[in-house]
Chains A and B, each alone.
Chain A
Amino acid sequence: GEINKTDQHQYYNEWIFGLEKGSKRIAAMMATSYNAKEEDGHHSGASSHGAAGVVKSKKPDNTAFKQQRLPAWQPILTAGTVLPAFFVIGLIFIPIGIGLYVSSNNIKEFEIDYTGVDISNPCYSCAKNFSWNSTTPCVCSMNFTLEQPFESNVFMYYGLSNFYQNHRRYVKSRDDSQLNGDQSALKNPSKECEPYRTSDGLPIAPCGAIANSLFNDTLELYHIDSNNTRNTIPLVKKGIAWWTDKHVKFRNPGENLTAAFQGTNKPVNWRKPVYELDPSDPDNNGFINEDFIVWMRTAALPTFRKLYRIIQKKSNTTPTLPSGKYVLEITYNYPVLSFDGRKRMILSTISWMGGKNPFLGIAYITVGSICFFLGVVLLIIHHKYDTRSNSADIPN
């Protein structure tokens, strides 16, 4: 086509310029070049880039990714999918909630406050007359009655209220290297421990505010049997800390504790140094004393409880704690009245889901019911108003 067209042009040119002599050839050539360009349609780009195009075209790749045509699953929320989802969620959650609630209710728990706020409380005088310097410990005992027997293993907790173990400065006031048995940290505790870092020029072991405020009440439990005799209930003090804490995180700086802690000072509030926490059992003494470890694992909230002792089940026939009268004997060392705190002793059995706490069960039931209810409401709305077409209820 190109050649024909050019020929045609030339013909016209010759016809036109035939009258003129001389410049015929030039004119014809010029004319053809012009016309070719004009009729061609797209000139500049095609001609100038044609050569370059052979080398590399800028044409984008026709791939699914670059063309945004990736295969994809596009779920469309319709009444048909949303409503069943609500019902399914509701139907799953409500039974779970009920299960949780029931098992929480099956847990037996007994709690007694021994802070001694009331004058009627046996520990009132101990609380009132508390002084850090007193050498003789103040002992008080509280009587209580268990209405129901506690069958399986019973966990004995002490609970503190209004005690801010989660305060930022308190949480930081410890030296994990020191507690891990690091020698240099023992002699030179972390700065975070200030102002419980040194006393009388000697480094404190264990340093910091957490250690310094170690809970040091002693609780003992007696069962009053029908003969009115006091039977000591054996309290197991090992196995209350996390295994990883006891074996990984906390280590003593040496075998011979007295020698290892030479050159350190006890925390200010303590009555005895760390290597005398449990002299009878070398596996429960020093930094790896389990009471100490439990205390060092700081609580999340200002009202908390910490595991104190475990009462092992003796036999299958008798309950661990039969119903009846008990006496709790407290060696009252730990002051909480100054900050309006409370001290409690809690006895509890546990289930697969932990301690007694109906909250989670209630939460599940609530969520489940709301879902169910919403499902019903939506269903009604759907039936009432969706008479037009199915496309109307595509959300978004």
Chain B
Amino acid sequence: MVNTAVHHVRLQINTHSQKHTHIHLLVSLYTCLTGLTWEVRANSRPYHKHKQKKSFLCFHWGRYAVSHYKYSPLTFLPLTLFEQFQRVANLYFLLMVVLQCVPVISSIPWYITIIPLLSVLSARGLKDLANDLVRPPITLCICISITFLRSPLSFNFVFSFSSQADILLLCSSEPHSLCYVETADIDGETNLKYRQALSATHNELTSHPTEEAVSFYVTGVVLCEEPNNRLYTFRGQLHWRRECLLLDHEHILLRGTVLRNTEFAYGLTIYTGADTKILRNCGKLRVKRTQTEKVFNRLVMGIVLSVLLAALLLAIGSGVFSSWVMSNTGVLSALVVNGNPAYTGFLIFWSYIILLSPAMFELIHTVHSLFIGWDMEMYWQPADRPAQARNTSMSEELGQVGYLLSDKTGTLTQNRLLFRQCCIAGEIYGNNKLKPSLIFYIKKHFFLRGQQCPLSRQFLTALALCHTVMAEWKEEAPVYQAASPDEEALVGAARELGWVFLSRTRDFIVVSELGVTRQYQLLALLDFTSQRRCMSVLVREPEGGLKLYCKGADIVILERLQKDCPYQERIERSLELFAQACLRTLCVAVRSVPEASWEQWSKTLAQSAAMATCDRDVLLEKLYDQMERDLQLLGVTAIEDRLQEGVPETIALLKQAGLKVWVLTGDKKETAVNIGYSCKLLDPDTRLLEWHELRLDHFISILVFDGVLLQAEFDQRPEWGATFMSLAEQCQSVLCCRVTPGQKADIVTLVRKHTSSVTMSIGDGANDVNMIKTAHVGVGIAGVEGGQAVQNADFALSQFRFLQRLLLVHGRWSYRRISLFLRYFLFKTCGFALVHIWFGIFNGCSAQSLYETWFIALYTVFYTATPIMLVAFFEQDVSAESSLKWPELYKSGQRQELSSPLMLSLSLLYAVYASLVLFFIPFGVFYDTAVDYQTMAVTVAMAATFTATIEIVLVTRYWTKFNIASVCVSVVLFFICTRITHNPRLFQKSPQDYLFLGTLTHLSAWHFIPVT
């Protein structure tokens, strides 16, 4: 652990992620700007020791096996307590306990109040602990790191298979100090990537490969950003031998990456322990709150307010009683205490309403989540992957979804890409009609017609060169590892056609062109970003010429073409043709770059890359623009992405269920519309409304619009959002094309802002993460594109069609169960507690409890908890099959019919009514009789228990054996516990054994009143 004491101004760092930058440049010292405040000195233990004293972060020094767990045995208790008391309910309850500990105002013993609190706290604490213990990938790393740490830590050098700190790569065993890594633990992507050392350190260190030498030679200082959570950026400088070398994320091995195919690697640790980027990323999940929870919280607030009001009135009553009655009553006058705080006693009973509900909520949610994971119908055999509820506290939100915003690629489609057709120099190869072994068809065509054409050769060279695929050799054949399936498909297609990509190093790409191995020198790689939507490579051909190969979205490429490019019209026509056939298209273009302009360009690039400020990205983009111009269009590739199984049926079903389905895609409008038709999102009979028609006041059903236009419109007129949404609300479905990830999130925000419905986003790729995080409920499809979407999602599915079951079955059930639970819970606790207000009128507002102390403690936990919990676990109004058969049933959840404030208020009123009955019927019976307080307490307690039980019997519509058992057990438990607490031997001191013969007959009368 290394740290500078100086924490100056933290520089705002531009977060544009630079994914595959290949720029390693030497920059002189004076360009190194400040703002990089984190300083690491290689092999300088005294320096760091000195610094240690100043920063507690240095605590981790020398302890590489920093636990990835949130809790340690020591910190668990304080941390979990701190977290839990952030909940208002718990805090309120703690306050109650504290008040109860003050003898003057306590109405029931403090230990009885603390039992429920402790159970709440321990239940939640244990759940957190369990969640913490189940963090598999990280645990794995810890073991490995302990075993493989080799070198003394004082050197700051680590030699390991799995890096435990964020490490600056200095050199490795591979040529050019490339270092193959797997980042599955970080982003879930299993393909190989590479990291690369600076050529300066590589050259120096590979000539002295021993460890001693390494530690001897390295005496550099690294200046870099303060620890942050941005996984894909790193900015820093290595000051070494009077040179200032720029560092970016290509040089960094993040904690959790695993080295592959690399014998050894030397590095300099930059961040360790809690400062590593992955740890900074952990635990930052935004806490999502469900609608029901919000309603409930509001209700609790209302209850607290009315409690305060009631307490105030009762306090006044108590005061009046003290001064008027008690002082005149000889026997009571001596008991008048100054400022009798009777109302505080009152609050206790109210605390039981809020009490336990969070803990029970947690438990119910957890069980619902388990059911989701256990569902066989949502298990995807080929990948051995069941559905997963990653956020265990959202299940009932699934029953209320009004808007489904879906990504297209990989979500609706399989994202298993097949190279279907291509158009080279205006000639279309391949035929979409032919299904199997299509590539051979292309091949035949190609060899018959196009082989001699130089454009075709260039086209294929471009496919073989312009990508970021890694080739891994297995059994004498390369296996391609690509971050995006498009690239894999294209490189694979090029290989099929004879242009075999063999390997890549830092500076060279080796390709076998029809059997002739050619080595291209890689000069620059202008990487792909979702903003740029294209990528290029600048290579020097073996013959010496400079070529820029570029591929990208048609709209980007077409505007960068040189004037009067041959075949342009024909290619554009084929583009349309491909789009209509639902194929994904990419344009491929080439440009010969004059040597002079390259030299100039590279110089500027070096300068701007050296700039450490946020302008850098803008400048780089401008530079890239300069290079990617005057392109010559070679052709178009068309890749098919097949629809997933069951997608049309699912969409149709969800639309029947009243969901508004929006598809947000980066594709062209034609492609999107075609996909929309094929997946039944769009109905052939309905009318498509496009952007320019929006202003007309037509009755419309489907809205199709373009993200670019939308963005422009919103920038001009922000108030337009509401208008747009009111229009969109009338539409069956909305199709947004050409949207960027940022816009996807913006659209979700727009929907959230202008409707009260619950929004759900579903996506599979890193570009959907933003949208998934923004929506109320985020669903990640665990597909081909790595695990980022799943990691940020609340639910993970393997197939889009599982969504129907997740929403219509699990969501609907869960919502119903939670609502039933909530309403019953309100009823039972309020009915139970309100009795005290009525009793207060008849005991001088003195907060005397109508129940015995033990009953209060046991009522919520033992007598009434299990039956409603089981209802909340098992209740089904209709079976899963019927839920899917009648999707209209889902609509009640969207309208929040079961958990609306009105329904909850009705439950409250019902509770008031029950409490009136509970108190005033015994009151009438016992008025002016010889019946004493204890008998009345037991009678009312029994009545309350029976009322709660009968109510649950009426609520339950799905009687499993567990339900029946729990109802019986609860009632029996009541009698047993009452008997035990009244045992004379057990309790010589307090309430004794007594008979309540006769009371039993009274009871049945008033249960049936609340019931009917």
Contacts and interface: CB of A to CB of B under 8 A. Distances in A.
Interface of A: 8-9, 12, 16-17, 20-24, 26-27, 29-31, 33-35, 38-39, 42-46, 48-49, 52-53, 57-62, 66-68, 70-76, 86, 89, 93, 157, 159, 161, 163-171, 173, 176-177, 180, 191, 195-196, 209, 212-213, 242, 244-245, 248-249, 269, 297-307, 335, 338-341, 353-355, 357, 359-360, 363-364, 367, 370-371, 374, 396
13 contacts: A33-B477, A45-B382, A46-B383, A59-B381, A67-B375, A72-B958, A72-B960, A164-B329, A168-B846, A168-B848, A300-B937, A363-B924, A371-B1008
Contacts of B236: none
B364 to A, nearest CB: 14
Given A22-B515, A38-B418, A168-B342, A305 B492 contact: no
A72 B11 CA distance: 63
Nearest to B846: A168
B934 interface: yes
Interface residues of B, number: 102
A161 B478 CA distance: 100
A81 B500 CA distance: 77
Contact of A168 (B345, B436, B992): B345
B701 to A, nearest CB: 32
B12 interface: no
B1005 A360 contact: yes
Contact of B443 (A12, A43, A53, A165): A12
B933 A26 contact: no
B990 interface: yes
Contacts of A171: 848, 933
Interface stretch (B25-33, B58-66, B993-1001): B993-1001
A43 B382 CA distance: 9
Contact of A300 (B380, B921, B933): B933
A56 to B, nearest CB: 9
Nearest to A75: B957
B334 to A, nearest CB: 5
A86 B1008 CA distance: 11
B780 interface: no
Contacts of B443: 12, 16
B1008 A195 contact: no
B592 interface: no
Nearest to B447: A16
Contacts of A76: 957
A34 B480 CA distance: 9
B306 interface: no
Interface in B170-197: 190
Given A23-B512, A26-B476, A359-B925, A70 B933 contact: no
A301 B495 contact: no
Contacts of A58: 379, 384-386
A39 B842 CA distance: 83
Nearest to B474: A33
A301 B992 contact: no
Interface in B329-381: 329-332, 334-335, 337, 340, 342, 345, 371, 373-376, 379-381
Contact of A167 (B335, B932, B1002): B335
A275 B329 CA distance: 27
A9 B436 CA distance: 12
Interface of B: 103, 107, 190, 325-326, 328-332, 334-335, 337, 340, 342, 345, 371, 373-376, 379-386, 416, 418, 436-437, 439-440, 443, 447, 475-479, 492, 495-496, 498, 500, 512, 514-515, 517, 784, 813, 842-844, 846-848, 874, 876-877, 880, 921, 923-937, 957-963, 984, 988-990, 992-995, 998, 1001-1002, 1005-1006, 1008-1009, 1012
Of the candidates B382, B847, B880, the one having the most CB atoms from chain A within 10 angstroms of its own CB is B382
A363 B375 contact: no
Given A166-B843, A168-B345, A59 B376 contact: yes
Given A21-B515, A371-B1012, A248 B984 contact: yes
Given A29-B477, A60-B379, A169-B846, A301 B923 contact: yes
Given A26-B477, A72-B958, A370 B921 contact: no
B514 A20 contact: yes
B1002 to A, nearest CB: 6
A302 to B, nearest CB: 6
Nearest to A23: B515
Given A17-B498, A180-B988, A244-B984, A360 B383 contact: no
B659 to A, nearest CB: 23
A113 to B, nearest CB: 12
A297 B932 contact: yes
Contact of B880 (A33, A68, A213): A68
A176 B984 CA distance: 12
B436 A298 contact: no
Contacts of B957: 74-76, 396
A396 B440 CA distance: 61
Contacts of B500: 23, 26-27, 30
Nearest to B388: A58
Contact of B930 (A177, A305, A341): A305
Contacts of A43: 416
Given A29-B476, A93-B1008, A249 B842 contact: no
A271 to B, nearest CB: 15
B335 A209 contact: yes
B874 A170 contact: no
Contacts of B930: 157, 304-307, 355
Contacts of A45: 380, 382-385
Contacts of B937: 300
A260 B436 CA distance: 108
Contact of A339 (B329, B848, B931, B962): B329
Nearest to B335: A169
A239 B998 CA distance: 19
A303 to B, nearest CB: 5
In the A-B complex, the 4 residue pairs with the closest CB atoms: A45-B383, A213-B331, A168-B846, A300-B936
